[in-house]
Structure 1
Amino acid sequence: MSPFPPSNGLITPTMSSRTIALPGQPIGPTNTHNIGSGTHIAGSQLHASIAGPLTTTPSTTKPSKAATLSIARPTGTLLPEVGTVVLGKITRTNPRQASLNILALGSTGAHVLREPFPALIRQQDIRATEIDKVKVSESFRVGDVVRAQVISLGDERSYYLSTAKNELGVVMATSEWGNQMVPVSWREFWDEKMGVKELRKVAKPV
């Protein structure tokens, strides 16, 4: 049985009953939800504009049943440390490394950061095996949300991260046609609308 179960394309990091939204993530259809602070409309879906806990406020008017979805900016100061699992968003790639912004701490993104921290995933830190055959372009693309582990505080510019464990890698990806995709194997995401697959270093669900 595949470790990657069917999904509706809305991959939501959660901690207990609290849902953590990441920038660009679809959070609900517009026909059943109203737009709130920290969200925006793209097509028929509401999307997160910022990272933070997602709040659903039931409607107080009748006969409308639509609830309002909003995202609040987190408070307090948190810093990634060596060994910490983080969630980040890929900002650019080249043949040697992928650059990303760390947005939240914890495997489910339970602790959202007030400000993003820059980080790098080097080619040799993407996978644990066949390192010499790893291609950054077949592992990550700009806009991907990645679960990774801090392996070094790096320099004053960037943390160094690794995805060299099965549970680390891409957790949310958009196809080149702009559609939310679902994971179908350890190295592929599936665009259900276009019927095509794209290569990624896929994170095994936790």
Structure 2
Amino acid sequence: HFKTLPIVVVTGINSRFAKVHILYVGSTPLKDRFRGTIRKEDVRESEKDKVDIYKSFRPGDIVLAKVISLGDVQSTYLLTTAENELGVVVAHSEAGAQMIPISWREMQCPQTNAKEFRKVARVQPEYLEA
């Protein structure tokens, strides 16, 4: 089912949601820019009231998400990461290095060993080969 999921880049965050641009659907790059939103309540399945967007995503993160619905008039899509397989797949540390996931909620910089909070996707091996 990963073949049809959108891959998005986070373009901005605030306390209520993350703004994203949809880059791919599965492995197909999109020619047009489609915008989306991941609301605070759609970040994870449990403890939705305790979600902190700033500890889930950062601008520039590449995220595997799922479309919930077409949003408002501005043609934005509502997206969710509320499944274990969904969330941040690529993130860069403040030092600029690609971070390594160390848990479902943390990634680590291989250069500085600094840890940063993220809503980490538990990516399946077959998806990484795509």
Aligned-residue RMSD, C-alpha? 1.1
Which residue does 1:117 correspond to in 2?
34
User: Partner amino acid for 2:92?
Assistant: T
- TM-score normalised per structure 2: 0.90
* Inter-partner Cα distance in structure 1 for 2:37 and 2:14: 11
For residues 161 and 185 of structure 1, the distance between their equivalents in structure 2, rounded to whole angstroms, comes to 22
Which amino acid counterpart does residue 91 of structure 1 have in structure 2? T
CA distance in 2, matches of 1:178, 1:119: 25
Hey, what's the Cα distance between the residues in 2 that align with 1:200 and 1:111? 25
Question: How do residues 47-196 of structure 1 correspond to structure 2 at under 5 angstroms?
Answer: 84-106=4-26, 110-157=27-74, 158-196=76-114
Percent of matched pairs sharing the same residue:
48
- Greater helix share, structure number: 2
Shift of 1:116: 2.1
Deviations 1:89-116 (A, max 9, x none): 000000000000000002xxx1110122
Cα distance, 1:177 vs. partner?
1.8
Amino acid at match of 1:123: K
d(CA) in 2 for partners of 1:168, 1:94:
20
Alignment gaps of 5+ in structure 2? 125-130
State the TM-score, normalized to the length of structure 1.
Answer: 0.57
- Look up the SS of the partner of 2:108 in the other structure: strand
Larger radius of gyration: 1
SS of the residue 1:98 aligns to = strand
* Alignment-derived partner of residue 52 in structure 1: none
C-alpha separation between the residues in 2 aligned to 1:138 and 1:182? 16
